Amino acid sequence: MRHLILMRHGMPAVPPGSSLCLGRTDLPLSPLGRMQACLLAEELSPYSTSFVYSSPLLRSTETAMAFSRPLRVVDAFAEQNMGCWDGLSFEEIRHTWPELYEKRGKDPLLVPPEAETLSNVQQRAVEELKACLNRFPGDMLITSHASVIQCIMAKATGTPLAESRQYRLPYGGYAVLEGEESLRLQRSGILPHPEMTASLAEKLLSAAAPGRQIEAHCRAVAEKALEIAEALPFATDREALHCAALLHDAARSEPQHAHVGADRLHTLGYDQIARLIRQHHDPESDASPEALILFISDKCVQEDRIVPLEERFEKSAERCRDETARAAHARRWETARQIRQQLNHLCGREIIP
């Protein structure tokens, strides 16, 4: 049975707090978008395709490149040209074209000034898809955009374009169509959720691209966390701990990185990992053993070296510029001292210097 997998690209790098009308406006993937692309590649790896088709826009080609297969760029799979609205924030659009904005919310076939119609999008995308299906046998993987995918799926299911919004995929989502002479919809709106393993966590860490120094730190913290977990006289969830340690600083270059990193893992559907990452600076009062181990492992690793807690906290104290930061630092130092004492006692040796 032949399969056609339609994938919407990952989250683009839209400015924080913004919501843009993206048609041909060419933005790369955000860190979250690159992680979504990584999950797509992991989940869809069983499909035996020689290459991946992609729209020419960056957010699509970057998603396709996560598959480590030859890339075929197809202009006909580019997103709908949104004319005068392309690249503007929806707030700007609502202010400048209030009447059209309201009507378009009810009738998706209405288009902005100078924009491409959905019927044209469907015509060019479906014609090119048929040519590709005839030219190459076997399964096909295509990364494209919301409007293109909904138009293809509307054609495959016989759905009028006016009702095609039901087939809009979320960022990083995919749909599967199957068949031989004709294609029928098998599954739609799927968000990839492969099993989280240390190997996948390594790939996600690299996809987030925090930098080699941070990646080395994450790997050193993961190694220390496993050492502590193995020395404890009770069982812990070592797989979850290992993955969370590998990913704990994947967002370190951003403000409030523990929360940003946790929010990304939550968005990707890995809530247990997200909870551990969120606490790697400030464990909750009822923190799990895994959260405490991650916290203390992070605090005894300076970059990629194991150091005494005193050295690590003396170094980090230099970055405290006001009373609020100094108070938070003092609180974390006291928490670290208590956890070190408890875990060293449980392990029967000074496993945390």
Contact 144, 54 (CB under 8 A): yes
Q: What are the residue ranges of helices labelled H in the chain?
A: 31-43, 58-65, 90-96, 98-106, 118-135, 146-157, 198-208, 212-231, 238-247, 257-267, 271-278, 289-299, 309-317, 323-347
Amino acid 269: pLDDT: 98
Residue 328 pLDDT > 90, yes or no?
A: no
pLDDT one-digit tens code per residue, 45-102: 998 788 899 999 999 999 999 998 899 999 999 999 999 999 999 999 999 999 999 9
Question: Would you tell me how many other CB atoms lie within 10 Å of the CB of residue 5?
Answer: 23
CA-wise closest residue to 172 among 283, 60, 70? 60
Domains of the chain: 2-190 (3.40.50.1240), 198-347 (1.10.3210.10)
Contact 208, 251 (CB under 8 A): yes
Amino acid 316: pLDDT: 85
Residue 136 pLDDT > 90, yes or no?
A: no
pLDDT one-digit tens code per residue, 91-110: 999 999 999 999 998 898 99
pLDDT one-digit tens code per residue, 168-202: 999 999 999 998 777 888 888 999 999 999 999 99
Amino acid 72: pLDDT: 95
Residue 12 pLDDT > 90, yes or no?
A: yes
Q: What are the residue ranges of helices labelled H in 112-180?
A: 118-135, 146-157
pLDDT one-digit tens code per residue, 253-282: 999 999 999 999 999 999 999 999 999 999
Averaged pLDDT score across all residues of the chain: 94
Contact 275, 248 (CB under 8 A): no
Mean predicted confidence (pLDDT) in 136-163: 94
Q: Which residue has the tokens 């995929």?
A: 169
Q: How far is CA 177 from CA 124, 150, 174, 185, in A?
A: 19, 13, 10, 4
